[in-house]
Structure 1
């Protein structure tokens, strides 16, 4: 089991302590540092900025949104950061949802699995640099031709030779088909709301992908980097309420009322009634009430809150469930050191 620092994405203002957290993570043996994006700050700029002060930790995105960049643009950014970091980059990708894809990026959301497959294939062509990059698929045709084009598009190879011709690609997947695709074409999985209680279910989805012809990895060399809220405290009852607003946002406020992939994760966990009630309250503007009605057991399914002994035993349970890296979000350098002491 390894630890990764999850910096996430910015809120209304940039965080003021990320330099301190990154330095502490590098100093105390964390394996990686990850950044994210939604519809505000991007993931690559802070990852490059903070990563420039490190020498050892891997630098990952959890996650880049596919619709924010063409696959060749994403491959260019990845090979650039991989060079600058000496081969420490991990490309974490996700499809997001129709609210963001069509409302923010102005791109169609249809066929997310097929789009993901094409996107990753094109990026790997760029990094392999074996031939000019082409794609016959319907989502990212290269070169582009037909009505409205000049007809002058030309297949190209990247000018810059990548440092590595096979940069790791992790996928942020939540549904069974997407998780199976991840096991088939990716090097790792980035679950946002992971629960060890459903390890057998996850394994069945992953095994489907591993069994497909041409699968890149097996369980032996596939990474599972799960985001986890870990809080070491003697005041468990007083801490849980601070986590519930985050869950309420993702359960009731992300996506549309009838298309919310994060909410579906909690439905699969068995909390459909909770999801319905949280969604109704959240979308009627009663966000505090939406958070308050979330039972403690829902928090416990995807977070670890309690004494040092409790946290240590739960981390072992997550490891036994297949997690190879826990992506954590400590609030201070002291918490980074405390979490590092667990492992």
Structure 2
């Protein structure tokens, strides 16, 4: 059960247009938010916006939620993280994730199979880079160093720069129980995308059992303060429609899988079938209100205050709020969560 819950702002990735959220980030820092997070899919990258915001702030932590491991070799991510951590005075929180086969193989052009083994190997190499205990080598099958081929001249190398912190906090974006268990085993935190607080113990209690003390469950959650509950529910349902229906292949959609584990397997299948057949309106209507309400914080202040109680009783230690676009909303959410 969470006791002292922290509060972060999750900006996600850019949609159709480039968005500079500096004013919102500055407001979050003034209001005492602990962290701000950016993401990437196949548009904006996760690190460049953080560097931009980091140059304009002084205290708020800076997180990637998440940087895709297929986008960069592990040493590249390690160098980028080390550089950004130095420039921002040790404020980086590095979240990484495997993404899915459509993006990994279709966008990055690298193989997706064995994502857990790849993630483990990736994390081990990054930590070798930061610790600078010797030239970095790896005999793993996914990221062998030196490369066993090519010109045959690969040389084990050691990071030139001394990291500000040899242990940059590492988070994993994970949805399946095995991936969550991996996060609990090797990482400092877990970044769940969809969280139903009343169900998280049932779904992931066993996977989280091995987590070390201080393990951070930093859950992303839509928060919409409004008197129009119907409009707020519909906004979350639109997001669920896209992720369940279209963010993954019919045979392998991790977002649909997690909704199934919440007890909505038939619903997820119906949404996906409608969406992939081009029936977007039918897919939207198939999303239950109770699902949208369960994974979000919606409605008037009093209703959100009541809905926060299951989150406080859950393993979630950090709420990364999505949706607010003005200082007034940020202040109201802060007062609800931290007040």
Q: Return the TM-score normalized by structure 1.
A: 0.94
Per-residue CA distance 1:163-209 (angstroms, 9 max, x = gap): 000000000011011111110000000000011122322221111xx
How far apart are residue 340 of structure 1 and its match? 1.2
Q: Distance in 2 between matches of 1:57 and 1:305?
A: 26
Deviation of 1:311 after TM superposition, in Å, equals: 1.1
Q: Distance in 2 between matches of 1:43 and 1:164?
A: 20
Q: 2:105 aligns with which of 83, 102, 105?
A: 102
Alignment of 1:81-120 (within 5 A): 81-120=84-123
C-alpha distance in 1 between matches for 2:99 and 2:121: 16
1:242 partnered with 2:232: no
Task: Provide the secondary structure at the position in 1 that maps to 2:250.
Answer: coil
Deviation of the 1:289 alpha carbon = 2.6
- Quote the RMSD (CA, aligned, Å): 1.1
Which residue is equivalent to 1:162? 163
Q: Distance in 2 between matches of 1:138 and 1:7?
A: 35
Displacement, 1:226?
0.1
Aligned match of 1:311: 304
Matches within 5 A, 1:1-343: 1-16=5-20, 18-146=21-149, 149-201=150-202, 202-207=204-209, 210=210, 218=212, 220-329=213-322, 330-342=324-336, 343=338
Partners in 2 of 1:255 and 1:317 — Cα distance? 30
In 2, are the aligned partners of 1:241 and 1:292 still within 8 Å (CA)?
no
Aligned residue for 1:270, secondary structure, equals: helix
**8 Å Cα contact 1:124-1:166 kept in structure 2:** yes
Mark the runs of 5 or more structure 1 residues left unpaired by the alignment: 211-216
Whole-angstrom CA distance in 2 between matches of 1:231 and 1:14: 22
Q: Which residue of 2 aligns with 1:213?
A: none
Asked if the contact 1:245–1:288 (Cα under 8 Å) also holds between the matched residues in 2, the reply is: no
Q: C-alpha offsets along residues 257-302 of structure 1, whole Å, 9 cap, x if unaligned?
A: 1100010000001111211111111112222331122110010221
Cα deviation for residue 20 of structure 1 reads 1.5
Structure 2 contact 256–269 (Cα < 8 Å) conserved: no
Q: Quick one: distance in 1 between partners of 2:227 and 2:309?
A: 20
Distance 1:92 1:251 in 2: 22
Query: What displacement does 1:73 show?
Result: 0.1
Q: Does structure 1 conserve the Cα–Cα contact (< 8 Å) formed by 2:198 and 2:310?
A: no
Q: Distance in 2 between matches of 1:288 and 1:21?
A: 33
SS of residue matched to 2:93: strand
Q: Retained in 2: the 8 A contact 1:173–1:190?
A: yes
In 2, Cα distance between equivalents of 1:57 and 1:317: 27
Q: Residue 316 of structure 1: CA displacement?
A: 3.0
- Runs of 4 or more, structure 1, over 3 Å off, are none
Q: Give the Cα–Cα distance (whole angstroms) in 1 for the partners of residues 88 and 231 of structure 2.
A: 41
Equivalent residue of 2:198, what SS? helix
